[in-house]
Chains A and B, each alone.
Chain A
Amino acid sequence: MIRLMLRARPPTRLSFRGLIPERLAGLSADSIARQALRQGNRVGVIGDCFSVDLAGGAEDRLVISGAGDCLDDVGAEMSRGELVVEGDAGARVGLEMSGGRIVIEGSVGFGAGMAMRGGELRIRGNAGDDVGGALPGEREGMRNGMLVVEGSAGAGVGDRMRLGLIVVRGSVGAFCGARMSAGTIIVGGGIGEGAGAAMRRGTVIAPRGNLRTLPGFADSGAHDLTVLRLLGRALAVHGLSEVASGFFDLRRWQGDVAVGGKGEIWTPP
């Protein structure tokens, strides 16, 4: 296991892009300390800010502690291994990750799981805007994988989402599931205005959300469907059974009819 401990809060933001378990595994502590680390608008090395400690256990496990919200791009492009942040992290956690597991013990900033392609990203605290969203200019956001926010999330959760699962235990902001073309978003708490705007396909489930659906959504009645049971059991496997506890007799809204109407939002009956 590799442990990076922040010595002192840096004056600039740090980008951890490229510093992922699979690239650091097998390197010595000195070698890791000499890896490039972008600090604001200049490039330094990890050793400038962090002490490096190699402990026993899996060598593709990276633990970062004491970093705080100034650490951006944690786990970006990660494809295997495990990365744990003992505290908060900054923007774009898990950017374009395709495999492995990232756990953030605290909260994160903007763009968590942006353009994510696989693996598991779990955030114990809250997340900012654009969870599972798309890179600027891209047509598709999150393309696969599982993203769990145990607190609440900001606006634009799952914007342009293409596939995968996003679970937010708490509330989400406006435009959740907007422009999504497939995938599943589950919201345990309240859900903001404009959910599902211009969604073509995909599923948003908000069993406790008091949602005023957009005019582009048609009421298809309250149902108890097998697919929700199946989803509930899958969530239970991942320790999220309480999120699925309300998956019965939900009301199905089909939309957005302005763009084909094959998406769906499930709300309380």
Chain B
Amino acid sequence: MIIEGVEIEDTFAEAFGMRATRLVVTADALRWARIAGETAAGFATSVIGCGAEAGIERELAPEETPDGRPGIALLIFGMNREGLAKTVRDRVGQCVLTCPGTACYGGLEGGEPLPLGRVLRYFGDGHEAAKQIDGRRYWRIPVMDGEFLCEDTVGQQKAVGGGNFLILGHTRASVLAAAERAVGAMRVLPGVIMPFPGGVVRSGSKIGSRYKGLTASSNLAYCPTVRGVVETALAPEIAAVLEIVIDGLTEAAVGQAMATGIRAACRGGAGEIARISAGNYGGKLGAFQFHLRTLLA
């Protein structure tokens, strides 16, 4: 399959079941909501090393938020409910509660809820107060600029993590430009995040290592500088590879984002982008498979 002069390899991305929640963070200005969201989503690129994957899903206009202030929707993914609960508590407690003027609400319904305000409330040292409004319970925690308002619990649901595709090109600059096009196109889609820096990852990994104790190591088959001495997956003209990793609330959302991203990466890439591929483990580990040619058909 060729799209805009770029070959789409006949392969698939392998993804895994995760648990996810959506938080709505508001502030007096969008800038501060975004700062809170970016801070809370920090060090959350890979569940293997960070215990969570997180990112800002989108910005929210005042009329879309519970308190009528500008905000952001933040998606946080974990491997299970318990792990997700802990990371959500810690991230909101350290990065949102601390950020001037913010408030935090649940953005998902259903699932066994994650405790949030009910565990952060103890920061109020006895002067916290619960308030029930329209059937939802919130905690008001006194802080130095007023109150931190936080919903008592937030919903969570099953989700999909690890959707991905690889962009292989003739120069590092052209591959990065294609990756930026892909991420830009995917950022407007609902229910997905690209958790790596700027949505792009350059350090694709394989399972295991020759060093004892390391569970993952550089995917040398896609590293152009060692292709002369390893079993490489790269043709001689390939100078660089970048990967986009996608986590989504549903399988459909991940699939749609992958298709959108790949099309955007290919756009104008003829002669510079050689191939789009994807990462998998032979189909033996992940519960979800995203076949590139099926997605793009």
Tell me the A residues contacting B by CB distance below 8 Å. Answer: 163-165, 182-184, 201, 203, 223-227, 229-234, 237, 262, 264
The answer for the CA separation of A58 and B69 in the assembled complex, in Å, is 39
Beta-carbon contact of A226 and B129 below 8 Å: no
A227 to B146, CA, bound (A): 11
Q: Which 5 A-B pairs have the closest CB atoms?
A: A234-B134, A229-B67, A226-B149, A230-B67, A226-B103
Whether A226 lies near B67 (C-beta < 8 A) is yes
| Residues of B contacting A182 in the complex (Cβ-Cβ under 8 angstroms) | 130, 132
Name the distance in Å between B27's Cβ and chain A's nearest Cβ: 9
* CB–CB B140/A227 < 8 A: yes
Please, how many angstroms separate the alpha-carbon atoms of A232 and B134 in the complex? 11
Smallest CB–CB gap between B286 and chain A, Å?
41
- The answer to the question of B297 belonging to the interface, with a C-beta cut-off of 8 Å to chain A, is no
> In the complex the two chains form, is B149's CB within 8 Å of A227's CB?
yes
Instruction: Collect the chain B residues with CB atoms within 8 Å of residue A163's CB.
Output: 132
B66 touches A227 (CB 8 A): no
Whole-angstrom CA separation of A183 from B132 in the bound complex: 7
**Bound complex: CA A234 to CA B149 (Å):** 15
Q: Which residue of A lies closest to B26 (CB)?
A: A226
Contact of B131 among A227, A233, A237 (CB under 8 A): A227
Q: Which residues of A contact B131 (CB under 8 A)?
A: 184, 203, 227, 231
Residues of B within 8 A of A231 (CB): 131, 133
B290 contacts chain A at the CB level, 8 A cutoff: no
A-B contact pairs, 10 of them (CB 8 A): A164-B132, A165-B133, A203-B131, A225-B140, A225-B147, A226-B26, A227-B138, A230-B66, A230-B149, A262-B129
B208 contacts the other chain (CB 8 A): no
CB distance from A229 to the nearest CB of B (A): 5
User: Are A227 and B147 in contact, with the CB atoms below 8 A?
Assistant: yes
Which residues on the B side are within 8 Å of A164 (C-beta)? 132
Question: Looking at the complex, which one of B26, B66, B146 makes contact with A225 (CB distance below 8 Å)?
Answer: B146
Complex Cα gap A213–B134 (Å): 28
Residues of chain B with a CB closer than 8 A to A229's CB: 67-69
Number of interface residues of B (CB under 8 A): 18
Residue of B nearest to A261 (CB): B127
Write the chain A residue with the least CB distance to B105. A230
Closest A residue, CB atoms, query B102? A226
Residues of B within 8 A of A227 (CB): 131, 133, 138, 140, 147, 149
Q: In the assembled complex, which residues on chain A have CB atoms less than 8 Å from the CB atom of B67?
A: 226, 229-230, 233
Contact partner of A226 among B69, B127, B132, CB < 8 A? B69
User: B132: which A residues are within 8 A, CB to CB?
Assistant: 163-164, 182-184
**Cβ-neighbour of B66 out of A183, A203, A233 (below 8 A):** A233
Interface string of B118-129 (1 = CB under 8 A from A): 000000000101
Distance of A102 Cα from B67 Cα, bound (Å): 28
Known: A225-B147, A227-B149. A234 touches B133 (CB 8 A): yes
How far is it, in angstroms, between the C-alpha of A165 and the C-alpha of B103 when the chains are bound? 22
Name 5 extra pairs, CB < 8 A, besides A227-B140, A229-B69: A165-B133, A223-B146, A226-B69, A229-B68, A230-B66
Which residues of A lie under 8 Å from residue B138 when comparing CB positions? 227, 230
| Contact across chains for B133 and A201 when beta carbons are under 8 A apart | no
Please name all residues of chain B whose beta carbon is closer than 8 Å to the beta carbon of A230 when the two chains form the complex. 66-67, 103, 133, 138, 149
Tell me which residues across on chain A come within 8 A of B140, comparing CB atoms.
Answer: 225, 227
Give the docked Cα–Cα distance between A264 and B146 (Å).
Answer: 15
Residue of A nearest to B149 (CB): A226
CA of A264 to CA of B138, assembled, Å: 16
**With A and B bound together, what is the CA distance between A231 and B103 in angstroms?**
14
In whole Å, how far is A147's beta carbon from the nearest beta carbon of chain B? 14
Name which residue of chain B comes closest to A264, CB basis: B129
In whole angstroms, how far apart are the Cα atoms of A45 and B127 in the complex? 54
Taken residue by residue from 48 to 73, chain B's Cβ proximity to chain A (1 for < 8 Å, 0 otherwise) reads as 00000000000000000011110000
Residues of B within 8 A of A234 (CB): 133-134
Looking at the assembled complex, report how far the CB atom of A163 sits from the nearest CB atom of chain B, in whole angstroms: 6
B272 to chain A, nearest CB (A): 49
Chain A residues with Cβ under 8 A from B127's Cβ?
A: 262
What residues of A have a CB within 8 angstroms of the CB of B130 in the complex? 182
Q: Hey, which chain B residues are within 8 Å of A237, CB to CB?
A: 134
Closest to A230 in B: B67
Chain B residue at minimum C-beta to C-beta distance from A262: B129
Determine the chain B residues whose CB is within 8 A of the CB of A264 once the complex forms: 129
Q: Which of A165, A201, A232, A233 contacts B129 (CB 8 A)?
A: A201
Residues of A within 8 A of B26 (CB): 226
